[in-house]
């Protein structure tokens, strides 16, 4: 039998009366009613309503997608442009070398004259730069345009001037090119003012310019890129003359048509890009081109001679840009080229904190073979290496 003692409404410690709420709480309640009240309260507190369950499920689902997709769309390893304010150039010798390259007059046909003695020269001459018209293609992208004929026809129809513009043709005055690579060796170089003095400045993908002018320059003549690597900021296109699409799939041509005509892609088409693509580029239709796939194809064939890997070689856009520059300019300089895989802790890109060791995970390109190819161009005097890492 349970013995229940009398509960006092006074505090036994100080003798002061309890508050009314305390008195009510201290009043005994029948056991059955007490259990029933607890059960109702606990059920209401523990279980959520349908609307609350739906809201919580949506919140968790969006959170999971954000955790997976946001890092891919918005890389968090970009270096703040403020970190570009260096006190001194890191290599005065290279800076003086760059100044000497620009100090003399432009030498007509310099690249061609120095390229011809090389064994690889036959495959690097007289390559068309931009796609101008439809034709039969033997290879699929990026080495050709086989299977993209309908998409290509629409893209070409949207371009007022699909071929090589008069300003880039070899006839006329002597021209100097600089191909600005994305390599970390450009960080701290102070070559920006030198780069801006070249007639044609070629850049790749989403390498930023605003905030990095001291090292990378401020102008862009041609930016080679594919949709997923196109800069999203309109500021990146302010001092850009031309955007040249590198085609890796037929959908890339649809993206170009959409950007030029200002007609948005369908929701279904957007799903097939591996990351979010920019929908608007603030340039006129005459400022867009399609890189001729023979540039990629013939660059890959030459690099195949330097590699031990089997199969068709797909070169980086950097190496392809160098070959494109050889078709356009009398003299070519390189800045920001040269990956040193023996130093995994060095900076991979001039605008990011990612280190060189990250390159070990990629299997698409043969960086070592490309470096040998570029080194032959430098040693022969065909091109000048402004940052000294090749």
Pairing of β 176-180 and β 220-225: unpaired
CA torsion, ordered 50, 54, 60, 61, to nearest 10 deg:
150
Domain ranges of the chain: 91-385
Helix (H, G, I), strand (E, B) or coil at 220: strand
| Best CA proximity match to 221, nearest among 192, 183, 195 | 195
Residue with token string 């509960």: 7
Residues 220-252, buried b or exposed e (16+ Cβ, 10 A)? bbbbbbbbbbbbeeeebbebbbbbbbbbebbbb
* pLDDT confidence of residue 17: 43
Q: What is the distance between the alpha carbons of residues 209 and 84, in angstroms, rounded to a whole number?
A: 11
Distance (Å, rounded) from C-alpha 293 to C-alpha 123?
Answer: 14
Q: What is the tens place of the pLDDT at every residue in 301-318?
A: 999 999 877 777 799 999
Q: Which CATH number fits domain 91-385: 3.30.70.270, 3.30.300.30, 3.20.20.100, 3.90.1480.20?
A: 3.90.1480.20
In the DSSP assignment, the letter for residue 49 is P
> Euclidean distance between the first and final Cα of the chain, in Å?
94
Return left, alpha or beta for 109; rule: phi > 0 is left, psi -120 to 50 is alpha, else beta.
left
In tens, the pLDDT along 117-157 reads: 998 898 899 999 999 999 999 999 999 999 999 999 999 99
Torsion of CA 314, 319, 324, 326, to 10 degrees: -130
pLDDT at 9: 38
CA angle 333, 336, 339 (to 5 degrees): 120
Q: What is the mean pLDDT of each run of 10 residues along the chain (390 residues)?
A: 42 42 43 43 51 67 50 46 57 91 94 93 93 94 97 97 88 92 93 97 97 97 98 96 98 98 95 96 98 97 87 90 97 89 73 70 76 96 95
- pLDDT, residue 172, reads 75
Three-point CA angle 126, 130, 134, nearest 5°: 105
The HSE-up count of residue 69 (CA atoms within 13 Å, CB side) is: 11
Q: What is the percent of the chain where pLDDT is above 90?
A: 63
Instruction: Please report which helix (H) or strand (E) contains residue 19, including its range.
Output: none
């Amino acid at each position: 039998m349970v013995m229940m003692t009398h509960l006092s409404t006074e505090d036994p410690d100080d003798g002061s009366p309890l508050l009314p709420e305390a008195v009510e709480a201290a009043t005994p309640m029948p056991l059955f009613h007490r259990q029933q009240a607890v059960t109702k309260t606990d059920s209401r507190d523990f279980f959520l309503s349908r609307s609350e369950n739906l809201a919580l499920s949506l919140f968790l689902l969006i959170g999971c997608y954000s955790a997976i997709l946001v890092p891919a769309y918005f890389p968090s390893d970009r270096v703040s442009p403020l970190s570009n304010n260096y006190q001194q150039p890191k290599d005065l010798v290279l800076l003086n070398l760059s100044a000497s390259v620009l100090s003399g007059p432009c030498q007509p046909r310099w690249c061609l004259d120095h390229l011809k003695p090389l064994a690889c020269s036959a495959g690097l001459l007289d390559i068309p730069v931009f796609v101008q018209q439809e034709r039969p293609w033997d290879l699929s992208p990026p080495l050709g345009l086989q299977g993209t004929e309908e998409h290509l026809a629409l893209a070409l129809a949207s371009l007022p001037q699909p071929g090589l513009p008069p300003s880039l043709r070899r006839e006329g005055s002597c021209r100097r090119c600089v191909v600005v690579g994305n390599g970390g060796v450009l960080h701290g170089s102070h070559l920006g003012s030198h780069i801006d003095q070249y007639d044609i400045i070629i850049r790749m993908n989403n390498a930023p310019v605003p905030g990095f002018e001291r090292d990378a320059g401020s102008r862009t003549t041609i930016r080679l890129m594919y949709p997923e690597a196109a800069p999203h900021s309109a500021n990146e296109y302010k001092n850009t003359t031309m955007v040249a699409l590198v085609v890796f799939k037929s959908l890339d041509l649809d993206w170009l048509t959409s950007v030029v005509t200002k007609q948005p892609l369908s929701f279904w088409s957007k799903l097939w890009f591996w990351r979010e693509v920019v929908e608007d580029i603030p340039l006129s239709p005459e400022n867009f081109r399609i890189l001729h796939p023979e540039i990629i194809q013939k660059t890959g064939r030459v690099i195949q001679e330097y590699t031990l890997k089997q199969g068709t070689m797909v070169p980086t856009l950097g190496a392809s840009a160098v070959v494109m520059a050889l078709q356009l300019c009398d003299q070519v300089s390189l800045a920001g080229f040269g990956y040193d895989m023996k130093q995994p802790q060095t900076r991979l890109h001039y605008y990011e904190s990612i280190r060189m060791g990250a390159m070990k995970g990629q299997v698409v390109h043969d960086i070592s073979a490309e470096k040998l190819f570029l080194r032959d161009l430098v040693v022969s005097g065909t091109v000048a290496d402004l940052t000294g890492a090749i």
